Amino acid sequence: MRKQTANNNRLIFDNLDTEKRLGSIINKPGTKKLYMLFSYYGRRVEKTTGLVDSQENRKKVRIWLDRQMEKIEVGKFVFAEAFPTAPDAEKAWFAQQEGWNYAPSPKDVRIGDYLSKWDKEVVELFDSSIKSFDYRAIVNCWVKPYFADKSFYELTRYELKRFISTLKHKIGPKKGKTLSRSRVANIVSIVRIVFNDAADEFHWEVSNPFRNAHKLYPNTPVLVREIFRYDEWLQILDAIPQWYRPMIEMMMLTGMIHSEISGLLRSHIHDGYIFLQRSIVRKVEKNSLKNKYRPRKFPVTSRIREILDAAMARTESPYVFANLDGTPYLRENFTERIWKSAVDKCDIPYRPPYSIRHSFAAWSLLAGIEPLRLVSLMGHGSKRMIYDTYGNYVEDLECDFWDVVNYFGKDFLEAKKKPQHSHYNFLCESSCESQGPEQPNNLIILNN
């Protein structure tokens, strides 16, 4: 029997006139597919069969639907088994009514659906808004476009390898070129976290596609920051607008980075030291620094005291390096608007502001600062970072020895005695012109 529903939107097919059937087979306008309609635990359930409307297919669907209705009557119907492709939330709700804990298989859970849920339940609860922003940026830019329509069952090592091969710059002068190894590692780490969270939540026992994932990362060359020679630094100082000069000089004299300069308060300077303990990152104030080693103290030398006094005399702001209105100095737009313009005026190759920190380290090693002391001053965890990142030989830097010594000041250099370890020694080339007393042999630490 075929009859029209009250709202005329559906045609309902009952295969037998002589028997009242539970559940209906329907046909909806705009589609040639058959649908099933029934009520379960007081909820309306309407699902497509995927079959086109024909007498033969109606009979097939009727037989299948009758069996499910029989299971419902005797309490043996399991919604998730009958409709494995139904949304997870729907399967979970019926599972709760049926009295069992629903745990979808990796085949049942689309990564895109889980990412939406994960964002609300995990990322939304991060204490740091910056961390939330970074996670979402990676998910929306890299993870979702590739994995959204795939299930966790499809997240295999082979698929991970294919995903990594797609990680290339999307805009800018490097468009189409492979991302750096470190950036790829950051992106993959988010995919790993999502996979592990899903596996924990649903108690999956699955193989780990991320085992030795680092072997899949591109072998991009390690970025080596070029440092400033002393005469280049003087050119930079002359070209930088006067207001910003104290900030960048403080960076060169201490190895501080922009976020630490921004977050420095007057109250952090006492007893002859600068106590570094907070930062401002992307305009967000944080009562913490990059890692557990970054909170540190730095001695206030005579040169540093001059810079601090000059900077604090400009405003009454609690921030040491403040704008005229008392708000803290921020690095946003500094690189593009101030720094690049200043470097362009100089007859030197371009280097980003972060090269100042590298220059501080190289200059300190040149002047004979003990490596362990430099580890503490820069907020690192071990000497390895000093040697691997800052310990490379710089052509002719030894010729700047006395300029660097005078720039830092004796009160900075004499805080600790210079070590006399033979494997740190370097003989200054005779072509260098001495700018003071005869230079000692141990001028720069080399990464042999």
- pLDDT class of 189 with cuts at 50, 70, 90: very high
User: What's 151's DSSP letter?
Assistant: B
Q: Which amino acid is present at 137?
A: A
Read off the amino acid at residue 243: W
Q: Domains of the chain (ranges plus CATH)?
A: 2-98 (no CATH), 111-216 (1.10.150), 230-424 (1.10.443.10)
Q: Which of 77, 147, 135 is nearest to 106 (CA)?
A: 147
Flag whether pLDDT at 34 surpasses 90: yes
Is the model's pLDDT at 446 over the cut of 50?
A: no
- pLDDT, residue 425, reads 35
Residue 395 above 90 pLDDT?
A: no
The pLDDT value recorded for residue 178 is 93
- CB neighbourhood size of 48 (10 A): 12
Q: Which of 6-10, 230-234, 394-398 has the highest mean pLDDT?
A: 230-234
What CA–CA distances, in Å, run from 27 to 33, 69, 204, 393?
Answer: 7, 20, 38, 78
Q: CA 356 to CA 273: how far, in whole Å? A: 21
Q: Full-prediction pTM beyond 0.75?
A: no
**Per-residue pLDDT band at 332 (split at 50, 70, 90):** confident
Measured in degrees and rounded to the nearest 5, phi and psi for residue 11 equal -105, 130
Q: What is the pLDDT of residue 176?
A: 93
Average pLDDT, the chain: 84
Q: Percent of the chain beyond pLDDT 90? A: 57
pLDDT in tens, 221-268: 766 778 999 999 999 999 999 999 999 999 999 999 999 999 999 999
Q: For position 415, what pLDDT does the model report?
A: 64
Q: If you ran DSSP here, which 8-state letter would residue 270 be given?
A: E
Q: What is the pLDDT of residues 137-159, one digit of tens each?
A: 999 999 999 999 999 999 999 99
Which residue reads 């104290």 in tokens?
A: 246
Residue with tokens 């979970």, as numbered in its chain: 92
pLDDT class for 162, splitting at 50, 70, 90? very high
SS3 296: strand
Confidence at residue 201, expressed as pLDDT on a 0 to 100 scale: 87
Is 353 within 8 Å of 251 (Cβ atoms)?
yes
* pLDDT class of 20 with cuts at 50, 70, 90: low
pLDDT band for position 168 (50/70/90)?
A: very high
Over residues 81-107, the pLDDT tens digits come to: 899 888 888 888 898 888 876 678 898
Give the pLDDT of residue 336. Answer: 87
Q: Does 16 have pLDDT greater than 50?
A: no
Which of 243, 244, 245, 247 is CA-nearest to residue 260? 247
284: β partners: 281
How far is residue 290 from each of residues 9, 276, 293, 356, 436, measured CA to CA in Å?
A: 61, 11, 8, 18, 39
